[in-house]
């Protein structure tokens, strides 16, 4: 199969690159690629319900949204990703392609369920798909040496009562492939071997500078924007409680497309002005707009930055 080489590790650019493989090329192609630490949420998911946003911010972990459905995944440089795009009838024949390739490298891999690849009963890969006119793309992960501690923290769902209209991620028992393939001393060796199996002597497709510029433009206008990453989040309801020196505060709120559509504060807190004023002021605004509000007027002694933790509580 023909292939495209992509050495970029920026998740936003790589999401745009995947869409270009789907919509901007002809024939069937594959690409192996990596992301620097990032969480990739599915097309229909709420960023606020699926991701530990404070952990991502503190660790410089990028948040991105892809064009396919399914659940949230964590990527780092111990993870190898793959994309296959082409005419739908051809790509439908590729559902077992990655499991077959892994078997050729010595792993007892099997495709199970809708979109998982298991080795010894543990998940090492999951994939999703997208149809655009007569073309289809499937893309997924291969965990080589992923930081499972970071993965667990990044995908920690906030410990609160919540309901989301989108798709909730399903946590599975997972494994890294590195211990199972000792013949490969690095991810690069594994990638090269896998690439050889998939390419099978086929030629490379080299993207032109103009095509790369199109991908960069998609990144700026779509995949790297707040509207795409957060604003597409479906209606999500939360109830979270935090204790402050002024008392206990419970926030009951709904985020719709990333902005407050409902907000109420209850609790035994002390303040100089009714909290309903703050609730009304924040309707239609983003979470980070809390930082520009006179929070201490409603919750005595609490700074806006401290109060933001009500909404990010884990």
Largest CA distance in the chain: 73
If residue 193 lies in a helix (H) or strand (E), which one and from where to where? helix 187-199
Residue 268 confidence (pLDDT): 97
Question: What domains lie within the chain, and their CATH numbers?
Answer: 2-229 (3.30.930.10), 236-312 (3.30.390.50)
Position 262 scores a pLDDT of 97
Please state the pTM of the whole predicted model: 0.91
Sequence-distant (6+) residues with CB within 8 A of 212 are none
Q: What is the pLDDT of residue 167?
A: 46
Tens of each residue's pLDDT in the chain, 314 residues: 999 999 999 999 999 999 999 999 999 999 999 999 999 999 999 999 889 999 999 999 999 999 999 899 999 999 999 999 999 999 999 999 999 999 999 999 999 877 899 999 999 999 999 999 999 999 999 999 999 999 999 998 654 333 444 444 444 588 999 999 999 999 999 999 999 999 999 999 999 999 999 999 999 999 999 999 999 999 999 999 999 999 999 999 999 999 999 999 999 999 999 999 999 999 999 999 999 999 999 999 999 999 999 998 65
Q: At what angle do helices 11-23 and 209-218 cross, to 10 degrees?
A: 120
Name beta bridge partners: 110.
Answer: 118
Q: What token pair was written down for 75?
A: 């990527």
DSSP state of 257: T
Separation CA 176–CA 74 (nearest Å): 13
What's the pLDDT at 174? 87
- What pLDDT is attached to residue 208? 97
User: Cα separation of 108 and 300, whole Å?
Assistant: 61
Joined tokens for residue 189: 């060796």
Q: What is the pLDDT of residue 160?
A: 36
Distance CA 24, CA 4 (A): 13
Determine the straight-line distance between the first and last CA of the chain, rounded to whole angstroms: 45
């Amino acid at each position: 199969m023909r292939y495209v080489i992509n050495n970029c590790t920026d998740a936003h650019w790589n999401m745009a690159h995947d869409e270009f493989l789907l919509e901007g090329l002809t024939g069937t192609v594959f690409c192996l690629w990596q992301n620097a630490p990032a969480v990739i949420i599915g097309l229909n998911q709420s960023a606020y319900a699926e991701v530990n946003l404070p952990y991502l911010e503190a660790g410089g972990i990028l948040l991105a949204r892809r064009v396919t459905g399914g659940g949230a995944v964590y990527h780092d440089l111990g993870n190898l990703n793959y994309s296959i795009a082409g005419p739908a009838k051809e790509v439908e024949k590729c559902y077992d392609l990655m499991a077959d390739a892994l078997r050729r490298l010595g792993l007892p891999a099997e495709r199970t369920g809708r979109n998982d690849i298991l080795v010894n009963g543990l998940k090492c890969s999951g994939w999703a798909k997208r149809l655009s006119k007569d073309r289809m793309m499937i893309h997924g992960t291969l965990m080589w040496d992923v930081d499972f501690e970071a993965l667990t923290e990044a995908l920690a769902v906030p410990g609160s009562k919540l309901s989301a209209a989108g798709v909730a991620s399903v946590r599975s028992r997972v494994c890294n492939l590195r211990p199972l393939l000792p013949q490969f001393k690095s991810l690069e060796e594994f990638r090269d071997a896998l690439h050889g199996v998939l390419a099978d002597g086929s030629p490379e497709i080299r993207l032109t500078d103009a095509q790369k510029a199109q991908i960069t433009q998609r990144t700026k206008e779509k995949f790297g924007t707040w509207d795409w990453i957060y604003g597409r989040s479906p209606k999500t309801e939360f109830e979270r409680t935090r204790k402050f020196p002024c008392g206990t505060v419970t926030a009951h709120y709904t985020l719709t497309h990333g902005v407050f559509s409902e907000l109420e504060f209850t609790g035994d807190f002390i303040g100089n002005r009714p909290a309903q004023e703050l609730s009304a002021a924040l309707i239609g605004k983003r979470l980070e707009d809390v930082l520009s509000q006179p929070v201490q007027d409603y919750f005595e002694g609490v700074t806006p930055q401290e109060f933001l933790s009500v909404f990010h509580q884990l």
